[in-house]
Amino acid sequence: MNTIRVLVVEDSDMVAEILIQALESDRHIKVAGRAANGREALELLPRLKPDLITMDVWMPIMDGFQTVARIMETNPTPILVVTSTNLKEDVQLSLRMIAAGALDVIEKPTMSAWNMWAHQKKELVTKVRLLAGIKTYTKTSPLKPRSEIAETKPDYVIANAEPIKNNFRLNKAPVHEDYQYQIVAMASSTGGPTALLKILAALSPDLPIPFIVVQHISEGFTRELVEWLNREVALEVRVAKDGELLESGVVLFSPDRYNIKVTQGRRVSLNAAGKVVLCPNADILMQSVAENYGNRGIGVILTGMGGDGAKGLSSMHAAGAYTLAQDEATSLIYGMPKAAFAAGAVREVLPLESIAPRLTVLSRQLLRRTNL
């Protein structure tokens, strides 16, 4: 394996030293330089030509969002956002950085506790090794204004711990029995936030079907990701609550540290991670959809590393559900879709831009009833 050269962009000397120590604990990673702000990063980039940049969020002179936007316009390079999860503003800006072209986000490592430090260091090194080889391209328009999103038209013409407690509001709309498909289960990992934004932004809020999403992201980022998506798309997006009734046109995300299932009563069931290593777990969600919805479910596997979702999607496929996977060309990481395809679980492989139109068509497909 070739040495991965990293440019660390961080205004705090102490945090920069922690990052450098963590990165260079791997013999395949070398820190080629450090910049204290965005302007310094832009000056160093042409000379150092790093394989990857770790990018802070708030910095003097030029913040992380401005810096990512400039880099993606002039000298596209893989960027990993490194930020704090205890400040809402940090997480919100880090998600804007992903929309502008950064590949992923991770919590800043700290040395407050040895077991936490070891875990954070391992996660940082793993993400750097994974993202350094990804090809990046000039990015000119990361986001549409909300007004444009609301007017998006589909390309197709339609012919026909402890369970989290909550207070429920009135249902937006029940799931209509006249439609063939009753639920969409989606799973994504690395590259997922941008892929989900593109899909959800192209869907109409009056779709007669509910959505449940398992997104693998560093702990502490899910709620802000959901709020960000909810601001940017016309559908209602929120974090799922235990016992919640599924509603048409609503997108529910599994919360951090909880696995999510659906029940026969069209409700959500949340369970703490327990012994499951990967949580939230897409296999668990999709298995429950197969068991309770059979051929009336839709399963979607998007970009991401690993193989989560392949077994669950296989169960859905065997039950007669409609199963989709993002293609390799548009996947940031072709791990999860590849595993699902290799398992024989995928009925249709589509580029990212074609997934929303296909979901629109499927969600409005009327149930074919047999007269006896």
Task: Tell me what pLDDT residue 43 has.
Answer: 96
Report, at the CATH architecture level, how domain 147-363 is classified.
3-Layer(aba) Sandwich (3.40)
- CA 216 – CA 321 distance, rounded (Å): 23
Residue from 188, 152, 195 nearest 360 by CA: 152
The yes-or-no answer on residue 189 being catalytic is: yes
Task: Tell me what pLDDT residue 173 has.
Answer: 58
Task: Tell me what pLDDT residue 137 has.
Answer: 67
Residue from 341, 270, 276 nearest 302 by CA: 341
Residue from 3, 187, 7 nearest 80 by CA: 7
Mean per-residue pLDDT for 148-153? Answer: 30
Predicted confidence (pLDDT) per residue in 285-318, tens digit:
999 999 999 999 999 999 998 999 999 999 999 9
Q: Is 222 helix (H, G, I), strand (E, B) or coil?
A: helix
Query: Is the model's pLDDT at 100 over the cut of 80?
Result: yes
More confident site: 101 or 140: 101
Backbone angles phi, psi at 104, to 5 degrees: -160, 170
Given 63, 90, 104, 189, which residue is catalytic?
A: 189
Mean per-residue pLDDT for 224-240? Answer: 94
Q: Peptide bond preceding 46: is omega within 30 degrees of 0, i.e. cis?
A: no
Predicted confidence (pLDDT) per residue in 240-295, tens digit:
999 999 999 999 999 988 999 999 889 999 998 666 668 899 999 999 999 999 99
- Bridge partner list, 268: 262
Question: Domain segments of the chain: what residues?
Answer: 4-131, 147-363
Q: Evaluate whether 4-131 and 147-363 have a shared fold.
A: yes
The yes-or-no answer on residue 216 being catalytic is: yes
Query: Is the model's pLDDT at 203 over the cut of 60?
Result: yes
Sheet arrangement for strand 4-9: 29-35, 4-9, 52-55, 79-83, 104-107
- CA 74 – CA 81 distance, rounded (Å): 18
Query: Is the model's pLDDT at 352 over the cut of 80?
Result: yes
Q: Checking phi first, is residue 346 left (phi over 0); if not, alpha (psi -120 to 50) or beta?
A: beta
Mean per-residue pLDDT for 100-118? Answer: 79
Helix (H) or strand (E) holding 135: none
Mean per-residue pLDDT for 97-126? Answer: 82
Task: Tell me what pLDDT residue 154 has.
Answer: 30
Give the chain's mean pLDDT: 86
Q: How far is CA 233 from CA 112, 159, 272, in A?
A: 38, 25, 29
Given 63, 188, 216, 354, which residue is catalytic?
A: 216
Burial class (CB in 10 A: 0-12, 13-18, 19+), 332: buried
pLDDT category at 117 given cuts 50, 70, 90 is confident
Given 63, 90, 104, 308, which residue is catalytic?
A: 308
Interacting residues of 205 by C-beta distance below 8 A, sequence separation 6+: 234, 235, 236, 249
- CA 305 – CA 308 distance, rounded (Å): 8
3-state secondary structure 112-125: CCHHHHHHHHHHHH
More confident site: 114 or 34: 34
CATH of 4-131, one of 1.10.3720.10, 3.40.50.2300, 3.40.50.300, 3.60.10.10: 3.40.50.2300
Diameter of the chain measured on Cα atoms: 76
Query: Is the model's pLDDT at 192 over the cut of 80?
Result: yes
Task: Tell me what pLDDT residue 113 has.
Answer: 57
